[in-house]
């Protein structure tokens, strides 16, 4: 938060030297980046590094989670013959017909998220 002090007819930005006085007892994790400041209460200081990693990559984690949780066909990609058969099926049944998809397990998503954090948020 930027505070301003009136100097003459202008307001000049000043630093808030006592900003921490409004915080409750406990451990806090504060991250200041260009254009944003984030403040979170860190429950356990032993996990502060992990919480910081999560804080810094939270927006990447959300988009990555959306990507890794997408449905996929239950089997391998269709061969050319299967694609022709599917096309013929659609011509008869229509494209609104139900196809089965499988989704990754929560364990699989958690492992991918931990790999993302371990790679410093670089989605590969």
3-state class of 36 per DSSP?
A: strand
Task: Write down the pTM of the prediction.
Answer: 0.35
Q: According to the model, what pLDDT value does residue 120 have?
A: 66
Q: How far apart are the C-alpha atoms of 30 and 85, rounded to whole Å? A: 57
Given a cut of 60, whether residue 121 has pLDDT beyond it is: no
**C-alpha to C-alpha distance for 71 and 103, rounded to whole angstroms:** 5
pLDDT one-digit tens code per residue, 52-90:
777 777 767 667 777 777 766 666 777 899 889 888 888
Cα–Cα distance between 71 and 35 in angstroms, integer? 35
């Amino acid at each position: 938060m930027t505070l301003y002090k009136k100097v003459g007819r202008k307001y000049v930005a000043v630093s808030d030297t006592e900003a921490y006085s409004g915080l409750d007892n406990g451990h806090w994790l504060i991250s200041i980046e260009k254009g944003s400041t984030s403040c979170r209460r860190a429950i356990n200081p032993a996990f502060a590094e992990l919480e910081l990693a999560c804080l810094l990559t939270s927006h990447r984690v959300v988009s990555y989670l959306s990507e890794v949780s997408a449905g996929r066909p239950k089997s391998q990609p269709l061969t050319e013959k299967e694609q022709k058969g599917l096309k013929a099926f659609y011509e008869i049944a229509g494209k609104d017909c139900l196809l089965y998809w499988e989704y990754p397990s929560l364990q699989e998503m958690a492992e991918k998220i931990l790999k993302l954090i371990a790679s410093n948020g670089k989605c590969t």
